[in-house]
Amino acid sequence: MIAPGLIDALDRWLAELQSVAGRAEKTQTAYRSDVLGFLGFLQGYEGNSLGTGALAQLTTRTMRAWMAHERERGLSARSLARALSAVKGFVAWMAERDGFDPSAVLMMRSPRFTSKLPRPLAKDAARAMLDTVEALGASDWVAARDVAVLTLLYGCGLRISEALALTGADCPLPPSLRIIGKGGKERVVPVLPVAREAMARYTELCPFELETGAPVFRGVRGRPLAARQVQKTMASARALLGLPATATPHAMRHSFATHLLDAGGDLRAIQELLGHASLSTTQAYTAVDTARLMEVYETAHPRAG
């Protein structure tokens, strides 16, 4: 049994992460699951009740056993790296509080994994996606709604959660939007005329009253539009267009960044527009650009191959 004091300490650590570091709710949930999984393993590995003092007794052997156990049960290298990061953070916090040496945990190396590059759509594919989604609409207002959502992703670089969080108070769209993104990070995003026009057409046709404090995007029964519905609509459109499964709503945001970079956009400015906390996250788009250039080179260069 995991001692209540240890569970309480975990909850206090997570609360501190949220208040001080501004970690997103999904990150908090994932970290809690990761650490509880680790503590559950320790309980079985040690074979007795698990209290706060057990963390001070951790060895590299125990840590390696846990990591091997996680890989054996099918956890990916990426997920294990995240879990190890959560465990390190919690143990380091406990070590500072209780005064023990956490070196055996902190010295553990994360498993190596290859970061997945963003998979943007080509410019003509992005335009075709908007046209196809409009054609698939069950009614004029639904078609206008879906076009407006995807235009916000592609034209403003919003995450789907950010687009669906817009309320009646945001309409008509101003020249710039103040967006609260992951971890409560705030940014100001310029709104292109095409996005304002798409939103204006949707709000004009929408059969439901768009109250100031309520979500502006609605499902066919008037409830807030779910991200899953947008994903399903794009899945139908990409099937018609013959696009790969990577052509998702988030790919529209990737396309926004990549096409800005293609046009000579500054990486720091793109970081701000996307709301990335770290420039290294945004730099993934330069890798996409380089990868695409290499594909062109391999195909077209007379000396290639």
Distance of CA 196 to the CA centre of its chain: 25
Could you confirm whether 276 is annotated as catalytic? yes
Say which amino acid occupies 54.
A
Instruction: Name the active-site residue from 32, 182, 201, 259.
Output: 182
Q: Is 182 labeled as catalytic in the residue annotation?
A: yes
**Which residue in 23, 145, 218, 250 is the catalytic one?**
250
Contact yes or no for 141/207 (Cβ under 8 A):
yes
Q: Per the residue annotation, which of 23, 145, 159, 254 is the catalytic one?
A: 159
259 is catalytic: no
Q: How far apart are the first and last CA of the chain?
A: 62
285 is annotated as an active-site residue: yes
Q: Structure tokens of 218?
A: 């609605």
Catalytic residue among 145, 196, 218, 253: 253
Q: Is 303 noted as a catalytic residue in this protein?
A: no
Written in H, E and C, the secondary structure of 147-195 is HHHHHHHHHHCCCHHHHHCCEHHHCCCCCEEEEECHHHCEEEEECCHHH
DSSP conformation class of 121? P
Active site residues: 159, 182, 250, 253, 276, 285
